[in-house]
Amino acid sequence: MVLADWGNQISSALAAMSNSTIINEETINHLLKEVGNALSRADVSMSLIIKMRKNIQAQIKLDQMAAGLNKRRIIRKVVFDELIKLLDPGVTPWKPTKGKSNIIMFVGLQGAGKTTSVTKLAHFYKRKGWNTAMVCADTFRAGAFAQLQHNATKAKIPFYGSESEKDPVAAAKKGVEIFRKEGAEIIIVDTSGRHKQESELFKEMSEIETVIQPDNVIFVMDSSIGQAAYDQAMAFKTSVKVGSVIITKMDGNSKGGGAISAVAATQSPIIFIGSGEHIPDLEIFNPTSFVSKLLG
Ligand code: GDP
């Protein structure tokens, strides 16, 4: 079920509620069941769905609603707000500070879209007038260095990496040191991913974090990974201080529910979504407009 489909299912359920002649417990239960089904088909975890249903039920007290109140509108608003809450941890997103070197560390599994998103974010800041640089600390994947170097050249962004350096911690340290000395305001460090969650990867991330002391750690997640999203996000969150999330490949046949799980696991805001393979395909994420768009 792709993003638009589960949005449509929730919209239809809300429309059915709005059009029903009477609003009673049965109407509400039916609505909640439909909303729950839609979220479940979008790969949102069952525990989150149950929590959301309870939150909605707690706010809709039909017996306490005075006659004449627009119950339908109130119910719609409660459902809408709860959907937004699923995507909004209520944390102000990190922002870089002028006059210093802001270090941003990227983490995520291989294939998530990390290297692509590093370039997209560097391009974003460069366009806004920040003096930006990128560092390749992925010494694990053959070709990672060449990929980031290629992107850097294309986006005309200074880049540090070494094909001969086999120690990712040393590469990250050196790159950050060089650009700090040069007075770069934004230094984005790309790290290795590996194919699956494994202790070596998390040890490496934690070591890099200790050495470069990032101002923000961005967790990158592929939006199409489904039910695995929560555990994956949690694994990164427990290894490093994840502060923001980027969800990639929202342009494809993504269900989008993984985004909700990533927020729940990391308690961090989604700052951008990736909407294509090209450098400008990065959109600022806003939970309210996302839900509005979702519900059409
Ligand atoms: P990494 O291993 O996490 O560094 O992943 P890459 O940045 O190399 O991306 C893996 C693949 O996903 C590449 O083919 C990218 O072009 C593609 N990709 C990354 N972000 C997006 C996105 O937002 N949309 C689409 N359609 N493809 C993306």
Please choose from 248, 272, 279 the residue to mutate so as to test ligand 1's pocket, defined by most ligand atoms within 8 A of CB.
248
Where helices occur in the chain by DSSP H, the ranges are 3-19, 25-41, 46-59, 71-87, 114-127, 144-155, 168-181, 199-212, 229-239, 257-266, 287-294
- Average the pLDDT over 142-151 and give the result: 91
pLDDT at 1 > cutoff 60: no
pLDDT at 114 > cutoff 60: yes
Amino acid in the structure at residue 154:
K
With beta carbons less than 8 A apart as the criterion, state whether 136 and 159 touch: yes
Each residue's pLDDT tens digit, 189-202: 999 987 666 889 99
With beta carbons less than 8 A apart as the criterion, state whether 60 and 90 touch: no
The rounded mean pLDDT for the chain is: 92
ipTM over 0.85: yes
Which atom of ligand 1 is closest in space to residue 220's alpha carbon? 3
Tell how far the Cα of 98 is from the centroid of ligand 1, in angstroms. 30
- Average the pLDDT over 90-109 and give the result: 96
Q: What is the number of alpha carbons within 13 Å of residue 247 lying toward its C-beta? A: 32
Tell how far the Cα of 53 is from the centroid of ligand 1, in angstroms. 34
pTM as predicted: 0.93
**Sole residue written with tokens 């002028």:** 98
